[in-house]
Copies of this chain bind each other. A is one copy, B any other.
Amino acid sequence: MYTINLAEKLSRFSAHWTPHVVAELNGQMVKLAKIKGTFDWHHHEQEDELFLVLRGRFRLEFRDHAEEVHEGELVVVPRGVEHRPVAEEECHILLFEPAGTRNTGNLVNERTRDQLERL
Q: Which residues of A contact B (CB under 8 A)?
A: 1-7, 22-26, 28, 30, 47-50, 54, 62, 65, 67-70, 72-78, 81, 96-98
Contacts and interface: CB of A to CB of B under 8 A. Distances in A.
15 contacts: A1-B67, A1-B76, A1-B77, A1-B78, A3-B73, A3-B74, A3-B75, A6-B73, A6-B74, A22-B74, A25-B49, A25-B97, A28-B28, A28-B96, A96-B96
9 closest A-B pairs by CB: A25-B48, A3-B67, A5-B73, A25-B76, A26-B48, A23-B76, A3-B73, A4-B74, A6-B72
A5 B72 contact: yes
Counted per complex, copies of this chain come to: 2
Contact of A74 (B23, B76, B78, B97): B23
A84 to B, nearest CB: 13
A118 to B, nearest CB: 13
Contacts of A72: 5-7, 54
B2 A75 contact: yes
A109 B7 CA distance: 37
